[in-house]
């Protein structure tokens, strides 16, 4: 009797489920900030093969056009060399962070972890506090004098 009631409960839970959508959505972000929500089939050296959520027609995009790719679980699968270079330029700078919830956080120092499973940044606040923040909850980072510093550094090294 216990076994039959257990089977009945499991069947009732499966049949009354409101959603059978168990696919993981991937977000492909291009260099202009546009995004494509899709199900990625495979990633090659030259292309990304995906299907849109509402269509089952296969699509491809050149891998050089993708800035980075992440999924529903906020795991990064691919990022472009310019993404890595922008992160390198922001490291150890002062400035402010604007989150996707429109909060502003001023910081004295910022460091990115290389972890792609749980991408976080270490933020050292202006009042001697430090905390980790999820990287995908950031809308924009504004740093002080980064462009001027790298332009002067590049001009110095290329002048020889």
Architecture of domain 21-79: Roll (2.30)
pLDDT at 155 over 70: no
Q: pLDDT band at 50, cuts 50/70/90?
A: very high
40: nearest Cα among 29, 32, 4, 125: 29
Fold equal for 21-79 and 83-158: yes
Cα(65)–Cα(46) distance, rounded to whole angstroms?
A: 10
Q: pLDDT band at 156, cuts 50/70/90?
A: low
What phi and psi values does residue 13 have, to the nearest 5 degrees? -65, -40
Q: Is the pTM of this model over 0.85?
A: no
pLDDT reported for residue 59: 92
pLDDT reported for residue 113: 82
pLDDT reported for residue 49: 94
49: nearest Cα among 32, 28, 20: 28
Q: What are the sequence ranges of the domains in the chain?
A: 21-79, 83-158
108: nearest Cα among 89, 76, 130, 87: 130
118: nearest Cα among 153, 66, 88, 76: 76
Taking the domain 83-158, which CATH number applies? 2.30.30.100
pLDDT digits (tens, 9 = 90+) for 86-126: 888 888 888 899 999 999 999 999 998 877 788 889 999 88
Q: Is 27 exposed, middle or buried (0-12, 13-18, 19+ CB in 10 A)?
A: middle
Report DSSP state, residue 41. Answer: E
Q: Tell me what the mean pLDDT of segment 68-94 comes to.
A: 85
pLDDT reported for residue 124: 92
pLDDT at 60 over 90: yes
Cα(119)–Cα(137) distance, rounded to whole angstroms?
A: 10
pLDDT at 62 over 90: yes
What phi and psi values does residue 22 have, to the nearest 5 degrees? -115, 10
Cβ–Cβ under 8 Å, residues 74 and 62: no
Average pLDDT across the chain, whole number: 82
């Amino acid at each position: 009797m216990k076994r039959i009631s257990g089977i009945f409960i499991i069947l009732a839970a499966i049949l009354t489920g409101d959603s059978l959508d168990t696919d993981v959505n991937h977000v492909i972000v291009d260099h202009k900030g546009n995004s494509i929500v899709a199900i990625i089939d495979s990633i090659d050296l030259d292309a990304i093969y995906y299907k849109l959520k509402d269509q089952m027609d296969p699509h491809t995009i050149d891998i050089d056009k993708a800035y980075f790719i992440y999924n529903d679980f906020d795991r990064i699968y691919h990022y472009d060399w310019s993404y890595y270079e922008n992160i390198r330029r922001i490291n150890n700078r002062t400035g402010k962070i604007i989150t996707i919830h429109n909060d502003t956080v001023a910081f004295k120092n910022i460091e990115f972890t290389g972890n792609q499973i749980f991408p976080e940044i270490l933020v050292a606040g202006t009042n001697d506090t430090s905390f980790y923040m999820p990287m995908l909850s950031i809308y924009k980072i504004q740093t002080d004098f980064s462009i001027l510093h790298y332009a002067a550094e590049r001009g110095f090294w290329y002048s020889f």
